[in-house]
């Protein structure tokens, strides 16, 4: 069973609207959590990274939150643009080489 | 900027063929990784290497082998391709220090392999 579950699987939003993606994990021990953006036909690119002691991290219009107690993270996209259309992947690290990847949320932004 | 390149974007092979996928990184990273990505599943680690000529199995090494003869190059080999190896293959590199896995992984563009 995947230790990182993301929801929704996909969503469609209108340009300039906001959206929030969810990530729940059971990975333990926990070292850090990353959100990656993967454009179609490309490899994933890191957006944010948070360690156990951090509960929010921003990168432009992307804001990630982390609740290490409930093992939940979210990625909020503000004022979406067409270029935000991509798959967003939650990745949890146990501290060694082992990364646990979520299946991703596919976001489609429409004009 | 970190650059990770993969030798092919698309490959079509026949069952039983030997397949080589090559990955090159230009950041002097010690660690390199091969993943496969399938719809509805997260990326799954096939093999990784933390130094030249060193390799370790990931979660799904069966049917694959790897080679790291030079620091910048990490090859994935399918000795006898099968249809269930049809997938997107992603290479990544990280870390200025061997086994420093806390460093962000930088991914290549991926190779989409179709085995007929």
Q: What is the DSSP string of B61-105?
A: -TT-EEEEEETTEEEEEESS--GGG-EEEEEEEE-SSTT-TTSPP
Which pLDDT does position B95 carry in this prediction?
A: 78
Q: Which two tokens stand for residue B64?
A: 């694959």
pLDDT at A31 > cutoff 90: no
State the nearest Cα–Cα gap between B50 and chain A, in angstroms.
10
B44·A43 Cβ contact <8 A: no
A42, B109 in Cβ contact below 8 A? yes
State the CB neighbour count (10 A cutoff) for residue B62: 6
Which pLDDT does position B113 carry in this prediction?
A: 97
Which pLDDT does position B11 carry in this prediction?
A: 96
| A58, A70, B55, B84 from B94: Cα distances, Å | 22, 29, 15, 28
- Residue among A2, A4, A97 minimizing CB distance to B101: A97
State the nearest Cα–Cα gap between A111 and chain B, in angstroms.
26
pLDDT at A110 > cutoff 90: yes
Which pLDDT does position B101 carry in this prediction?
A: 54
Which pLDDT does position B96 carry in this prediction?
A: 56
Which pLDDT does position B100 carry in this prediction?
A: 54
Compute mean pLDDT per 10 residues along chain B, 116 residues long, and list them. Answer: 88 97 93 93 91 92 96 96 97 72 83 96
The string of pLDDT tens digits covering residues A75-94 is 999 999 999 999 999 999 87
Mutation pick from B48, B95, B105 vs chain A, by most beta carbons of A within 10 Å, is B105
CA-CA distance, A44 to A48, in Å (whole number)? 12
Mark which residues 67-106 of B lie under 8 Å from A by CB: 90-92, 99, 101-102, 104-106
Which pLDDT does position B97 carry in this prediction?
A: 56
- Asked if B27 reaches chain A (Cβ–Cβ under 8 Å), the answer is no
pLDDT at A100 > cutoff 70: yes
CA-CA distance, B93 to B27, in Å (whole number)? 9
A49·B104 Cβ contact <8 A: yes
- Asked if A103 reaches chain B (Cβ–Cβ under 8 Å), the answer is yes
Q: Which residues of A touch B110 (CB under 8 A)?
A: 41-43
The string of pLDDT tens digits covering residues B40-57 is 888 999 999 988 989 999
State the nearest Cα–Cα gap between A100 and chain B, in angstroms.
8
**Which percentage of chain A shows pLDDT scores above 90?**
77
The string of pLDDT tens digits covering residues A41-66 is 899 999 999 988 899 999 999 999 99
The residue of chain B nearest to residue A97, with distances taken between CA atoms, is B101
Phi-psi region of B53 (alpha: psi -120 to 50; beta: other; left: phi over 0): left
- Asked if A77 reaches chain B (Cβ–Cβ under 8 Å), the answer is no
Judged on CB neighbours under 10 Å (0-12, 13-18, 19+), B90 is buried
| A6, A97, A111 from A106: Cα distances, Å | 10, 26, 17
Nearest partner of B19 among B66, B82, B81, B69, judged by Cα: B81
CA-CA distance, A105 to A29, in Å (whole number)? 24
- Asked if B40 reaches chain A (Cβ–Cβ under 8 Å), the answer is yes
Mean pLDDT within A4-9: 96
């Amino acid at each position: 069973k995947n230790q990182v579950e993301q929801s929704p699987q996909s969503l469609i939003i209108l340009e300039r609207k906001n959206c929030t993606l969810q990530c729940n994990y059971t990975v333990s021990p926990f070292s850090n959590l990353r959100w990656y953006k993967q454009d179609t036909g490309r490899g994933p690119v890191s957006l944010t990274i948070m360690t156990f002691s951090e509960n929010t991290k921003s990168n432009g219009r992307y804001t990630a939150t982390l609740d290490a107690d409930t093992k939940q993270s979210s990625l909020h996209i503000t004022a979406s643009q067409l270029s935000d259309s991509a798959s967003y992947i939650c990745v949890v690290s146990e501290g060694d080489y082992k990364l646990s990847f979520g299946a991703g949320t596919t976001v489609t932004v429409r004009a | 900027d970190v650059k990770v390149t993969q030798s092919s974007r698309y490959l079509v092979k026949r069952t039983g063929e030997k397949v080589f996928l090559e990955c090159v990184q230009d950041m002097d990273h010690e660690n390199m990784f091969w993943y496969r990505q399938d719809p509805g599943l997260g990326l799954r680690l096939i093999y990784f290497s933390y130094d030249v000529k060193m390799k370790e199995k990931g979660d799904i090494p069966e049917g694959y082998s790897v080679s790291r003869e030079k620091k910048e190059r990490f090859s994935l080999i399918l000795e006898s391709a099968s249809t269930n190896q049809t997938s997107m293959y992603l290479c990544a590199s990280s870390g200025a220090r061997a086994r420093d896995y806390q460093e962000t992984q930088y991914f290549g563009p991926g190779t989409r392999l179709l085995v007929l």
